[in-house]
Structures are given as structure tokens and as C-alpha cells.
A and B are shown apart, each in its own frame.
Chain A
Amino acid sequence: DIQMTQSPSSVSASVGDRVTITCRASQGISSWLAWYQQKPGKAPKLLIYAASSLQSGVPSRFSGSGSGTDFTLTISSLQPEDFATYYCQQANSSLGTFGPGTKVDIK
């Protein structure tokens, strides 16, 4: 099975900061990767699919890149509403494996 890892597990940042989160797959998954944002007590929200495609309605400060085994999610200028936990998810195999998550909190 494909395993997903994320780093860092948490990051403290300020409004306006550029934040980058990394996701690594245990084997190549081409561009079959999604990113989700989850706020406490809420369902996850799809941000990015196919590694770099922005989901409709998601602000352009979110971007994704990568292919193969290494991927990144970048928030170009952190906004107050972006403090949340972010998960990557592989969509290559017949299992929708998620990464362990990265919590972005206020410095």
C-alpha cells in the first residue's frame, strides 16, 4: 500500500506569511494528489486536486505543485481564516490514503 507522510506536523505562522507544506508518497503517484483543509468541528474542504489544479471557489493564494513522490502546498499570504489542519491524499491506487496532517496555527 502507498503510505503518505507530511512535514512539518505543525507550523506556527503569522498573517501575511508564506507557508509551505510538504507531502511525500512512498511510491510514485504521478500527479494523483489532493489537498484538503479542515477546521475544528468541520468537514474537510477540497483545495487542490491533480496536484496543482485549484478547486472552484478556492482563493488563488493556495497553490500546489509536484509529481511522482514529492508534493507541496503553498499559501502565498496567510489569512486569518487559513489557520487549520491540512491533509494530502493520494488518488493513484484504489485506496484514498491520507497523510497525517499539518496543523497551521497562529504564532
Chain B
Amino acid sequence: QVQLVQSGAEVKKPGASVKVSCKASGYTFTGYYMHWVRQAPGQGLEWMGWINPNSGGTNYAQKFQGRVTMTRDTSISTAYMELSRLRSDDTAVYYCARDSKWLRVKYYFDYWGQGTLVTVSS
């Protein structure tokens, strides 16, 4: 069965960076784009970007350009999202989510990780 297991909660100071991991199992990791979505406390969902695990190509939402880096390690079927220059309004649950289409990006997310809470506080 498809599973996405994310790393644990993080507490960071403003200005620091955080790197969240998402380990995939139960499917061919390189066959499906991986997206990252975040949700601030009590707020809605915000799409951050995607990575093509096959090529390593990325597409980031303009809001996060210059601060976010998405990478992957195909040897361990794991995707990563690193966000730098953290601010208090980056406090949120960060989700990885698999795109539903084989080798294409369709923005339909059929499997999600359990979420990783990142708290930014001085």
C-alpha cells in the first residue's frame, strides 16, 4: 500500500532553516511527482511547489521562490523540502502529497503524508 511518512515536528528560531523529509513506499517513487502543501494553524491549504522525482526538476509557487528548495534521494525513495529564512508566519503543518498521474503533473493529490508541524518562535 502507498505510504508517505514524514519526519517529526520541528521548532526553529526566526531566520533559521528547516528541512522536512517524506519517505515513500508501496509504489515506484520516480514515477509520480511529489508536491508540498502547508497549512497554518486554523487556516486553509497552500500549495508550495512540486518536484519530479525522476529528473529532479522543480516548480515553486512564486511566494516561496528564493526560500524553498525541494530535492529527492531516489536511493531511499525520499523527498525533501527545505525552507530558509524562517519567519513566525511560516509556522504551519507541512504536508507532502503525491500527484495522481504517472510521469505527469496533474495537481490531483491522491496520497498525503501525515504532516510535519514546524513552529517558528524566538
Contact = CB atoms under 8 A, between A and B. Distances in A.
Interface size on B, as a range, is 20 to 34
B59 interface: yes
Nearest to B46: A98
Interface residues of A, number: 24
Contacts of A43: 95, 97, 112-115
19 contacts: A34-B107, A34-B108, A34-B109, A43-B113, A43-B115, A44-B37, A44-B97, A46-B108, A46-B109, A46-B110, A87-B44, A89-B45, A91-B107, A95-B47, A96-B37, A96-B109, A98-B37, A98-B44, A98-B47
Contacts of A89: 45, 47, 107
B45, B62, B106, most chain A CB atoms within 10 A: B45
Nearest to A99: B44
Interface of B: 35, 37, 44-47, 59, 61-62, 95, 97, 100, 106-110, 112-115
Contact of A95 (B45, B61, B108, B109): B61
A101 B40 CA distance: 13
Contacts of A99: 44
Nearest to B108: A49
A95 B47 CA distance: 7
